[in-house]
Amino acid sequence: MNVEIWSDIVCPWCYIGKRRFEAALARFAHRDKVEVVWRSFELDPTAPLRSPGTLNDLLARKYGQSVEQAAANHARLTALAAEEGLEYHFDRAQHGNTFDAHRLTHLAAAYGLQDVVEERLMHAYLTEGLAIGDAETLARIAAEAGMDAHEARGVLAGDQYAEAVRADEQRAAGFGIRGVPFVVIDEAYGVSGAQPAEVFLDTLERAWAAREG
């Protein structure tokens, strides 16, 4: 069974959704028959490599709210993440363009390390406060995941896998996906948002029953 998950590295809901989907998959009787593919989605394709100001400032500008409201929203998200065993530090976050990070996940897929790199990227941004738009940081992450840092630097210095990222985004548009996380199972079943694990599990079971029926 094929599962495609559209997400963005700087999306806090995507990391929460990842944990909830993993919890559902662990309970799914046919989990060894499931192939998970991470798909690229940019929440802000126009973002610079490093956005100025704090994340609270950025959120306040984007949604027309006060910095205090943005901080309160981040506090609620931090508490939700903690329930899934995640530690968010929005005060450390160095927001930036994620196009190169998505290219790195496509390189990782060629080595069977896509999930490892996706996890590492989200943790780097949301927990450690690393600059996700910085090529050297991305190369270091690649090395930590078991990839060749020199190869990663070469990919990031050029435009390799750029078309793969755009293809994912075009595919998302074809499905009508406008926000992430978004899970598509066998191109027939969709789950929008960081739903509870029970919702993911129910959808996996319905998709499996449809395959077998």
Give the mean pLDDT of the chain.
Answer: 96
User: Which pLDDT belongs to residue 59?
Assistant: 86
Q: What is the dihedral of CA 38, 41, 86, 55, to 10 degrees?
A: 160
Q: Are 181 and 133 in contact (CB under 8 A)?
A: no
pLDDT, average across residues 40-64 = 92
Which helix (H) or strand (E) segment holds residue 190: the answer is strand 189-192
Residue 21 has pLDDT above 90, yes or no: yes
User: Which pLDDT belongs to residue 62?
Assistant: 86
Residue 114 has pLDDT above 80, yes or no: yes
Give the number of residues written for the chain: 213
pTM: 0.96
Look up residue 108 and give its amino acid. Answer: A
User: Which pLDDT belongs to residue 69?
Assistant: 94
Question: What percent of the chain clears pLDDT 70, i.e. is strictly above it?
Answer: 100
Residue 213 has pLDDT above 80, yes or no: no
Identify the structural domains of the chain with CATH numbers, from first to last: 2-51+93-212 (3.40.30.10)
List, as one string, the DSSP characters of 136-151. HHHHHHHHHTTS-HHH
Structure confidence by residue, pLDDT tens digits, 79-91: 999 999 999 999 9
User: Which pLDDT belongs to residue 122?
Assistant: 98
